[in-house]
Amino acid sequence: MAHIDDPETQRANLTFIKATMKEPLLSRDHEFDLAKRWRENGDEAALHELVRSYTRLVVATAARFRNYGLPMGDLVQEGNVGLMQAAARFEPDREVRFSTYAAWWIRSAMQDYILRNWSIVRTGTTAAQKSLFFNLRRLRAKIEDSPSNTSLSVDGRRKIAAELNVDESEVESMEMRLAAADQSLNSPIAEGGEDEWQDFISDQRPSPEDVVIGMRDSRMRSKWLAEALGELSPRERTIIAQRRLRDDGATLEELGKALGVSKERVRQLEHRALMKLRASMLKRVQVAGDLLLEA
């Protein structure tokens, strides 16, 4: 649904649009002079004149995106940010008209704003999704003569995927996103009913009982491990501590140098220590699976 501004906002927008249209168009030479004065001398007056002259480009671009249901004034503001970014980065010596250069920045700023605000669910997080979001409706109308509230045919989906160089599954996913509007979880499932959508969403978090059991089991495993480590020799405990109980475990070579033995000997000692730990831990439980943490 398109956004409708209140009368006061509409008047303010109209006043701004009229003011932009009164700004004179710049010749190539004058535009080059303004851009050069700003870039080389930091002449803010030149910057202001350059930006004001191309604000009409912002308004024209905003009009192209007005059907995405967002306020026209917000689109214009985002476009003005893009216009200022273009002015800050423009290099007049490249002999490209500022309007050509600025158009990309203005469009990009508006598209980013639309993707952030079109839905409470983040849309267009990849280049493929962004391309689909802004081109799917146009390509659909071009390829298929079917109502917009019906699904694309398999052939139509394939053509759009080929046109935009994306997977067919991404076309299908974006089609579903564009067809469904945001809905509150507090909305009733049926008209006149008391049940809400959120009532049927299961809580995937562990129950308080599971949390307490997990904490108890964790403490018990830690106690068993400490007792099992106490049964190892000092050298074996050092190897297990340095190799298995640190995030950045020491290498066999490092431990070999520290202990004055070869890498192979460290590997053998580590293997023997692990077998001892396993046997010691198994003596403390009735079921071997009790030693494993649940995923």
Segments making up each domain of the chain, as ranges? 1-118, 121-181, 208-291
Query: 125, 81 in Cβ contact below 8 A?
Result: no
Residue 14 confidence (pLDDT): 86
Can you tell me the distance from the alpha carbon of 20 to that of 30, in angstroms, rounded to the nearest whole number?
18
Residue 283 confidence (pLDDT): 82
Query: 195, 189 in Cβ contact below 8 A?
Result: yes
Can you tell me the distance from the alpha carbon of 278 to that of 150, in angstroms, rounded to the nearest whole number?
61
CATH class for the region spanning 1-118: mainly alpha
Residue 110 confidence (pLDDT): 92
The H-assigned helical ranges of the chain are 7-22, 28-41, 44-53, 55-64, 72-89, 98-117, 127-143, 154-164, 168-179, 208-230, 234-244, 252-259, 263-282
Kindly give the confidence (pLDDT) of every residue in the chain, 295 residues in length, as a single tens digit, with 9 standing for 90 and above.
455 677 888 888 888 888 888 888 889 899 899 999 988 888 999 999 999 999 999 999 998 888 787 888 899 999 999 999 999 899 888 888 998 999 999 999 998 888 888 765 566 567 777 777 777 777 777 776 655 556 777 788 888 888 888 887 777 777 776 666 556 667 777 777 777 767 777 777 877 888 887 788 788 888 888 888 888 899 999 999 888 888 888 899 988 998 899 999 999 999 999 999 888 888 877 655 555 545 4
Question: Residue 188: what are its φ and ψ, rounded to 5°?
Answer: -70, 145
Indicate the length of the chain as a whole number: 295
Query: 90, 23 in Cβ contact below 8 A?
Result: no
Residue 58 confidence (pLDDT): 93
Can you tell me the distance from the alpha carbon of 152 to that of 5, in angstroms, rounded to the nearest whole number?
33
How far, in Å, are 18, 72, 73 from residue 11 at the CA level? 11, 12, 11
Residue at 273: amino acid letter: A
Region 208-291: CATH code = 1.10.10.10
Residue 295 confidence (pLDDT): 42
Residue 146 confidence (pLDDT): 57
Q: Which two structure tokens, joined as six digits, stand for 97?
A: 């008209």
Name the nearest CA neighbour of 3 among 60, 45, 62: 62
